[in-house]
Structure 1
Amino acid sequence: MSAPISSSDSHLVEHTLDHVELLKGHFLHAFRDTVRLPNGEQATREFVIHPGAVMVIAMLDDGRLVMERQYRYPVQQVMIEFPAGKLDPGEDRLACAQRELLEETGYRATEWAHAGVLHPVISYSTEFIDIWFARGLSLGERQLDEGEFLDVFTASMDELLAWSRDGQLTDAKTLTGLLWLQNHRSGAWPLTWQTV
């Protein structure tokens, strides 16, 4: 899902001259492109193709939120996050959100609302993350993927805001989700709910 480039943006657009594959892994696909800059000069751009993902802001009836703690190898630390996961090829985004919430936390939701999309690392990845809200939760059995280890817990919005302020919560998608949550609860950003 990308915004169209208008004719008034032509002075900013870079044009691809060469496209070289650097790595094709199970999850990521890396390239180095040579581009023509708006001033006519050339530069290189290294970037990763990412299949996209979803994030779920799951709200319990008492207002608390379903959260996860998970070790993230690239940053070598345990991170506080909203439940999230990558899209499988051809997978519907809502179906992915439902699947990831159940697999990682054991929760199912009866109502879902699509909030928006975020691009967490626009300088070097095509990754997008669809933001979903879920309510009407019921707890069942988790179905973690092979090799997936995480703790599930609940927290209040005030706790999440304090952890963000104090630097304990630094995950970009979760910070964006918290912005959505804060604005939704204030009434500034309404959501359209659907029963599933």
Structure 2
Amino acid sequence: MTEKLFCDLPAGDKHLREECISGEDIYGGIFLHMKRDQVRLPDGQQAVREYLTHPGAVAVLAILDDGRVLLERQYRYPIAKTCIEIPAGKLEIGEDHLLCAQRELEEETGYTAKKWSYIRRIHPVISYSTELIDIYLAEDLVPGKSKLDDEEFLDVFAAPLEQLIAWVEGGEITDVKTTISAYWLDRYRKGLVKPHSIK
């Protein structure tokens, strides 16, 4: 008997959807805004949903010619920890996502890339934020000088994929975009996935 590997999803999602009845803004920050909505649940009952709206972001999985991954160490105030991450940054309103990725890579690391591919979109905190992150693959890197913002402090370094995965599995890396990118790159090098080419 062959074991079933995938579950059968029910058709449609109408029985799961929540409908907004009313909403209010409860906080407006520099780029994060907190909203509170009254929603109607699938069974007709009502509930409250609070969430942050976020302009979105990009992340860059940049690969050096020797195969190492370009990384950063940056202090993240909300969790009071210096984190290892791939380069990333938030989108300006209306900004093209690829252009943002190219800008962030150069500003933070000094590198530009001759070859760009699209990996995928992720939603890192689906329970309370609209944030999305589009992840790009950058190859054929050319070194240059970084252009950090006045309030930005970080170390730029490189590590082999095996070390990156070891840091993820050992709990040293907890950042979701970096974790997903590490496992994607491992599958990519095994020929199991491919990026989407950009023309």
Same fold, TM-score > 0.5, yes or no: yes
The whole-number CA distance in structure 1 between the counterparts of 2:186 and 2:135 is 14
The alpha-carbon deviation at position 191 of structure 1 amounts to 2.1
* Mapping for residues 1-196 of structure 1, pairs under 5 Å: 8-194=12-198
The whole-number CA distance in structure 2 between the counterparts of 1:191 and 1:28 is 30
> Conserved in 2, the CA contact under 8 Å of 1:21 and 1:30?
yes
Structure 2 residue matching 1:142: 3-state secondary structure: coil
1:161-189 CA-partner distances (Å, limit 9, x unpaired): 11111110110111011121111111111
The whole-number CA distance in structure 1 between the counterparts of 2:44 and 2:11 is 18
Structure 1, 99-108 or 171-180: larger mean CA deviation: 171-180
1:68-94 CA-partner distances (Å, limit 9, x unpaired): 000000000000000000001111011
TM-score (norm 2): 0.93
Structure 2 residue matching 1:9: 3-state secondary structure: coil
The alpha-carbon distance between structure 1 residues 111 and 47, as it changes in their structure 2 partners (threshold 3 A), is same
Question: How many percent of aligned residue pairs carry the same amino acid?
Answer: 52
1:79-113 CA-partner distances (Å, limit 9, x unpaired): 00000000011110110000000000000000000
Gaps of 5+ in 1: 1-5
- RMSD, matched Cα: 1.3
The whole-number CA distance in structure 1 between the counterparts of 2:129 and 2:22 is 18
The whole-number CA distance in structure 2 between the counterparts of 1:130 and 1:192 is 12
The whole-number CA distance in structure 2 between the counterparts of 1:72 and 1:147 is 12
The whole-number CA distance in structure 1 between the counterparts of 2:193 and 2:156 is 27
Structure 1 residue matching 2:187: 3-state secondary structure: helix
Gaps of 5+ in 2: 1-9
> Conserved in 1, the CA contact under 8 Å of 2:118 and 2:198?
no
Q: Which amino acid aligns with 1:86?
A: K
Q: Which amino acid aligns with 1:191?
A: P
Q: Which amino acid aligns with 1:42?
A: Q
> Conserved in 1, the CA contact under 8 Å of 2:165 and 2:183?
no
The whole-number CA distance in structure 2 between the counterparts of 1:22 and 1:183 is 43
Runs of 4+, deviation exceeding 4 Å: none
The alpha-carbon distance between structure 1 residues 22 and 163, as it changes in their structure 2 partners (threshold 3 A), is same
The whole-number CA distance in structure 1 between the counterparts of 2:196 and 2:120 is 11
The whole-number CA distance in structure 2 between the counterparts of 1:13 and 1:194 is 34
Q: Which amino acid aligns with 1:44?
A: V
TM-score (norm 1): 0.94
Structure 1 residue matching 2:147: 3-state secondary structure: coil
The whole-number CA distance in structure 2 between the counterparts of 1:182 and 1:43 is 42
